[in-house]
Amino acid sequence: MDKVIIASNLSLSYSNDETIINKANFSVDSGSFIFITGASGSGKSTLLKSLYGALSPKEGSLIVGGVELRNVSGSKLNFLRRHIGIVFQDYKLVKEWTIEKNIMLPLIINGYEKGVTQNQVDSLLKHVRLKHQAGKYPQELSGGEQQRVAMARALSHNPILILADEPTGNLDDYSSQLIWNLLEGANTQLKTTVIVVTHHIPEAMGVAYKHFHIEFGSIHEVN
Amino acid sequence: MKSIRNHLSLVIALLSILFSIQIFNIVDRSVMAYKKNLSTNYSLVVVSNMTLNNKEIADADSNIDSMTELSPDNVIQRLNTGMSTKNMELLKHTLPKFYKVKLKHYPSPGEIESVTKNLLQNKNITKVENFSQSHDTTYKLLLLFKNVVSLFAVSIFVITTLLIFKELRIWQFKHSERMSIMALFGAPTWLRSAVLFRLAIVDALITSVIAFALFTYTAASPWVLKQFSDIGISIVIFDPIYDFLMLAGVAMFLSILLATLIVLGHKEEV
Cβ separation A81–B186 shorter than 8 A: yes
Q: Do A81 and B268 touch (CB under 8 A)?
A: no
Top CATH class of A3-12+19-217 equals alpha beta
- For the sheet with B97-103, list strands across it: B64-70, B97-103, B43-48, B125-129
Backbone angles phi, psi at A86, to 5 degrees: -120, 135
Residue B45, SS3? strand
**Least CB–CB distance from A78: residue in B188, B269, B270:** B188
Task: State mean pLDDT over B162-175.
Answer: 77
Please, which pLDDT band fits residue B1 given cuts at 50, 70 and 90? low
pLDDT digits (tens, 9 = 90+) for A152-180: 999 999 999 999 999 988 788 888 999 99
Please, what is the Cα angle at B199 between B198 and B204, to 5 degrees? 100
Contact A49 B270 (CB under 8 A): yes
CB atoms within 10 A of CB B30: 20
Contact B268 A79 (CB under 8 A): no
B268/A54 touch (CB, cutoff 8 Å), yes or no: yes
Q: How far is B176 from chain A (nearest CA, A)?
A: 11
B170 and chain A in contact, CB less than 8 A? no
Distance, in Å, from the CA atom of B164 to the CA atom of B204, rounded to the nearest integer, reads 13
Residues of B in contact with A79 (CB under 8 A): 186
Contact at 8 Å (CB) between B146 and B160?
no
ipTM of the modeled complex = 0.90
Chain B nearest-CA distance from A203, in A, is 31
Label residue A147 exposed, middle or buried (CB < 10 Å: 0-12, 13-18, 19+). buried
Q: What's this model's pTM, rounded to 2 decimal places? A: 0.68
Q: Where are chain A's structural domains? A: 3-12+19-217
Q: What is the pLDDT of residue B164?
A: 78
Q: Which of B186, B268, B269 sits opposite A79 (nearest CB)?
A: B186
- In chain B, residues under CATH classification 3.30.70 are 43-130
The tens digit of pLDDT for each residue in A107-157 reads: 999 999 988 899 999 999 999 999 999 999 999 999 999 999 999 999 999
List the single residue in B with minimal CA-CA distance to A77: B186
Looking at the structure, give the CATH architecture of the domain made up of residues B43-130: 2-Layer Sandwich (3.30)
Distance (Å, whole) CA B252 – CA B204: 5
Contacting residues of A for B269, CB less than 8 Å apart: 54
Q: Which of residues 97-136 of B touch A (CB under 8 A)?
A: none
